[in-house]
Amino acid sequence: MTATHVPGQPVLEDGQLISTNPATGEEAGRVKVADTDAVNAAVEQARAAAVWWQGLGWDGRKTRLLRWRSLLVERIQELAELAHRESGKPVTDGVMEVAAAVEHLDWAARNAKRVLGPRRVRTRLLVAEHSGHLEYQPFGVVGVIGPWNYPIFTPVGPISGALAAGNAVVFKPSEYTPVVGQWLADTFAEIVPEHPVLQVVHGLGDVGGALCRSGVGKVAFTGSTATGKKVMAACAENLVPVVIEAGGKDALIVDEDADVAAAAEAAVWGAMTNAGQTCIGIERVYAVEPVYDRFVEAVVEKAGKLRTGEEIGPITMPRQLDIIRDHIEDALAKGGRAVLGGAEAVQAPYVAPTVLVDVPADSSEIREETFGPTLTITKVRDADDAVTRANDTPYGLGGAVFGKRDGIRIARRLRAGMVAVNGTLTFVGMGNLPFGGVGESGFGRIHGEDGLREFARAKAITVRRAKSLLPAMTFERTPAQVNQIVKALRLLYGRKP
């Protein structure tokens, strides 16, 4: 590689994708780039592998997925260090990312049969002579397009759900973290060597587009809202259904009876973890007037102790540095104040923790996803004012509330797919809870029962079990039988509840 290459920026060279550490520029690894023919071939191989995988049944798939889970646990340090080499994030953050992935993989493997297995459902009046049955059938092949900020945990969510449901998977990792993606596929192949049930294809955005058009049954995407719209457009060409987990501008509300010290600690974690490169990261805080000053002081004190290169890793995507700087400068130009950090906090490849106050609502730091270790804190009149401001965004991914008396009631009013009360980001640690957003943050769910159902088609089956006493669905019915049906309807449903 030449000196002109920017550390962390993906490089295509001689048919290979070269990945480098954004902090040091050291090479993390090389992977082969796929073209459209290679993507299509992978999907065809996956389609055949899916037949075998489905044939293993619920218990067979569960056993293999739990073995993969155990392998991830045994090699957790190796994977965390690889994530550090490729993305720059602290090794300890990588460890926690693997831990969260293991939790979701374990839950999907153990619960797929219960959630998706065939069951009998109660019959209804008009077809009382039939029994009803419901089952969930896999799509066959699912395409997963993963992000760079959490290259382990985030793709393992839809991958584990899709595999547990009986699908084969073709995974396109981010071009910024391809080596981690390859590691996941390689270790799965150690557990399941018989067929290519989980494959990986590498490249830039065109490879993701090829995957959308390759004939997969469904696509699960995680990334920016802008790219999510491109994925939807590509999938729409063939009516391929999608799960879109896009950007966020998550807010934390601090109510008047909140534990201020705990709220400050959680706000700093929610805003600064992974150098702020978290779709569900806390980017805005609305603190009610009685606790505002104490909260700001506590946040500045805690965030001021964090050090770049240690607790705060580098910005993985080099061009994101300009966005972060622009947002900070826009906030300051419009009257905001930096009580920690500021525009000078952006020193490539790092951004030091930055806390801004008095930022007007029309600034980009309030309106747009920053994706860096910055936090705005706004004084509000009361919780109602805070909810109104928190919901004043096209995004709706996650959020948080600190308060004793009304915490849950406030959480229910936030326009978001997930909300933590007296904590931040905690919902990602529960494998049985769904994850996803509304509005510009996307739609569909991964994780939990709703996440499993995303990767299978509901199929209804009715079976005749007796002669029709009230034949409804036949040209052989008589006027007298129609009258009997009307009488039965009036008897059962004619009275108001």
- Condensed to tens digits (0 to 9), the pLDDT of residues 192-235 reads 999 999 999 999 999 999 999 999 999 999 999 999 999 999 99
Whether 279 is a known active-site residue: answer yes
Neighbour tally for 56: CB within 10 Å: 16
- The one catalytic residue in 279, 283, 368, 454 is 279
The answer to whether the peptide bond before residue 349 is cis (omega within 30 degrees of 0) is yes
Mean pLDDT of the chain: 96
For 119, counting Cβ atoms within 10 Å of its Cβ (0-12 exposed, 13-18 middle, 19+ buried), the class is exposed
Residue 369 · residue 249 · CB < 8 Å: yes
pLDDT at 4: 57
Cα gap 450→110, rounded to integer Å? 15
> Pick the residue with more confidence: 336 or 124?
336
Q: What is the pLDDT of residues 76-131, one digit of tens each?
A: 999 999 999 999 999 999 999 999 999 999 999 999 999 999 999 998 888 999 99
Cα gap 352→371, rounded to integer Å? 13
pLDDT at 2: 46
Buried b (16+ CB within 10 A) or exposed e, 162-188: bbbbbbbbbbbbbbbbbbbbbbbbebb
Structure pTM?
A: 0.96
Residue 470 · residue 488 · CB < 8 Å: yes
Q: What is the pLDDT of residues 34-69, one digit of tens each?
A: 999 999 999 999 999 999 999 999 999 999 999 999
Q: How confident is the model at residue 5 (pLDDT cuts 50, 70, 90)?
A: confident
**Joined tokens for residue 76:** 């957790």
> Pick the residue with more confidence: 472 or 162?
162
Whether 212 is a known active-site residue: answer no
**Mean pLDDT on 338-347:** 97
**Mean pLDDT on 461-488:** 93
Buried b (16+ CB within 10 A) or exposed e, 400-430: bbbbeebbeebbebbbbbbbbbbbbbbbbeb
Given a cut of 60, whether residue 3 has pLDDT beyond it is: no
pLDDT at 210: 98
- The one catalytic residue in 245, 365, 369, 440 is 245
Given a cut of 80, whether residue 1 has pLDDT beyond it is: no
